[in-house]
Amino acid sequence: MRVPRNSGISFLRIVLVALLALGMAPRAARGAGPAIELPSDPSAVVVSYRSIPGELAGPGASLRVHADGRVVTHYPAPYARAGTYERRLSASEVEGLVQSLAAEGVLDFDADAVKEAQHDAAAARRAAAGGPATVSMVSDPDLVEIEVRLARFQPVGGAERRDLVKTVRWKNLAVDRRESRGIAAIDGLAAAVDALTALMEQPGTRID
């Protein structure tokens, strides 16, 4: 089994983290973002993220961001950084993270609609090629899962939602982001995963 290892933070990820740290998440945080309200319980988990490599039998690496800014990252064996780490975000950084996820379409992600868009795109490629379109098949695809919990969420020009719980689970994102380039929901999900992965890779205090 290949042992997952954490690669160095790319320039893109450094930029994403810097934007989050400044409360300047893409698009939405530039004065046109949705109205959000975090849970009143400071220990409540606002954002959680899991990344499970297809060859890994287990829960995978995980991230939890609490309403009070506490960030807990866990890497199980056989990750090189196996252990649990903790760090802190400011209130503006937590809000910036949520705004970033909203801007990338995570809170409106519709898996069925995305799959339909992928099907239509594959049909268009097949028609353009004059034959069957090539589709990459992965026997043991990776899984990513993002969950966001808010007391209140209201997109610009949209209806207010109270006690929002939004969960996105997607397999094979690494392949889809390459083969489904141009599908906004896939591009947005990939950007959100990049930002959350970058947050996971930031230094923290080991607590186990």
- Per-residue pLDDT band for 163 (boundaries 50, 70, 90) equals very high
Read off the pLDDT of residues 184-206 as tens digits, 9 standing for 90 and up: 999 999 999 999 999 999 999 99
pTM: 0.79
DSSP conformational letter for 4? P
pLDDT greater at residue 86 or residue 120: 86
Mean pLDDT of 86-106: 96
- Please check whether residue 100 is in contact with residue 192, taking contact to mean a CB–CB distance below 8 angstroms: yes
Instruction: Label the pairing between strands 70-75 and 35-37.
Output: unpaired
Residue-wise pLDDT for 94-103, tens only, equals 999 999 999 9
pLDDT of residue 120: 85
Reported as a pLDDT band with limits 50, 70 and 90, residue 155 is: very high
61: confidence class by pLDDT, cuts 50, 70, 90: very high
Distance CA 42, CA 56 (A): 33
Contacts for 139 with CB less than 8 Å, ≥ 6 apart = 54
Round the average pLDDT of the chain to a whole number and report it: 82
* Per-position b or e across 76-101, b if 16+ CB within 10 A of its CB: beebebeeebeeebeebbbbbbbbbb
- Say what the pLDDT of residue 9 is: 39
Tokens linked to 188: 């947005």
Has residue 86 got a pLDDT over 60? Answer: yes
**What pLDDT, in 10s, does the model give residues 23-45?**
444 443 345 689 999 999 999 99
For residue 2, pLDDT beyond 50? no
Phi then psi for 26, rounded to 5 degrees? -55, 140
* Residue type present at position 175: V
What structural domains and CATH numbers belong to the chain? 11-205 (3.30.1560.10)
